[in-house]
Structure 1
């Protein structure tokens, strides 16, 4: 792993989905790594990329690794709280160094989804930037906290976190690209996700 940088390479902003995974693979440099180093490598604009990264990982077989859904949920909560506090540089807890991420799985996932990521990146662009800042940013952070909290219990269900991960990924893309239209879509869909998660959690507790 290389040391954390203060900036994100321009390709991540120009192609959020492809750029985030490419950045991770570059930082891993062919070796297994851990979540702390991966997140720290994103630098001072890590909030959006972290949401995208968590969403992508949890929607692939990587998300089936025991404990990873809960770990990603806690990461998102920590970052969303910092986003609410308007911290210029995210704090990454040392405990994330214990959560290992296999390079082989990341590379395999990237190879499979790369064509789809390129198609999605082609339709994302700066639109209604006001919906990604100010009061809307506060709302997005609160929704991210609630979505992330559902990952702890839903992580007990195989791929049960996929819907929440999908919304978090959309929100992260919106933040990176300043795409307010995408942010509004993500926030609207999150209402249905909360209802679905409530039904599943209720079933687990019954």
Structure 2
């Protein structure tokens, strides 16, 4: 178990709390809810939103990739807090869709909380984090062209989420799996677009 056995579930609950009681929720409100817990939870949860009903909204995967890329860049540069441009923070999402997405994530987060733990922590240390940030940025750049292929944006988002979980739990084994997943995603993407 991780030090906090409900780490990811707590993050999902905070997203729910930030969304309830409104007809729409601003992206900035979700960012602020995640900012309290740091980069690991944000990089773990935000990419998974692409797998929920929100992922079906045209342009959402690209906007999500932009946000995740900004977070990874700030982490790489050593900033403690999140930042997103005002036009992205002010973008609104239907609260019902956000809450449905959060409810979809809840059992997933409970399962993850139960399974992950700190392992091979040195791999998930400062150097591993910087390399992961660079890989995450590359994965984010791959999302916009993949939107033309049904369900293709899910692959890079899942890999990014693996990196986020590795950071959240200080799990070096999961970090290694993230690097392997990124390599597989890059190979599959290149093969598809090069017609091989």
Q: Same fold (TM over 0.5)?
A: yes
Give the match for residue 57 of structure 1: 49
Would the alpha carbon gap of residues 44 and 21 (structure 1) be closer, same or farther in structure 2, given more than 3 Å must change?
A: closer
Answering whether residue 28 of structure 2 is matched by residue 30 of structure 1, we say no
Cross-structure match for 1:118: 110
1:91 aligned to 2:88?
Answer: no
Structure 1, unaligned runs of 5 or more: 1-10
Residues 56-84 of structure 1 deviation map (CA, whole Å, 9 limit, x = unaligned)? 11012211111111111111211111111
Q: Measure how far apart 1:96 and its partner are.
A: 1.1
**Which of these residues, 155, 166, 179, is aligned with residue 147 of structure 2?**
155
Q: How does 1:167-178 map to 2 (within 5 A)?
A: 167-178=159-170
Unpaired segments of 5 or more residues in structure 2?
A: none
Q: Structure 1 pair 150/16, CA: closer, same or farther in 2 (3 Å)?
A: farther
Could you say what secondary structure the match of 1:110 adopts?
Answer: helix
Distance 2:3 2:136 in 1: 21
Query: How large is the Cα RMSD of the aligned pairs?
Result: 2.2
Q: 1:112 and 1:47, CA in 2 relative to 1: closer, same or farther beyond 3 A?
A: closer
| 2:6 alignment partner, one of 15, 19, 26 | 15
Select 2:133's aligned residue among 120, 135, 141. Answer: 141
SS, match of residue 123 in structure 2: helix
Contact 1:128 1:181 in 2 (8 A): yes
- Taking structure 2 as the reference length, the TM-score comes to 0.88
Contact 2:53 2:100 in 1 (8 A): no
TM-score, with structure 1 as normaliser: 0.84
1 CA distance for matches of 2:65 and 2:111? 27
Contact 2:61 2:153 in 1 (8 A): yes
Given the superposition, is the C-alpha separation of residues 12 and 60 from structure 1 closer, same or farther in structure 2, using an over 3 Å criterion?
farther
Tell me which of 72, 83, 89 is aligned to 1:80.
72
* 1:39/1:202 CA distance change after superposition, 3 Å: farther
Deviation at 1:54, TM superposition (A): 2.2
Deviation at 1:13, TM superposition (A): 5.1
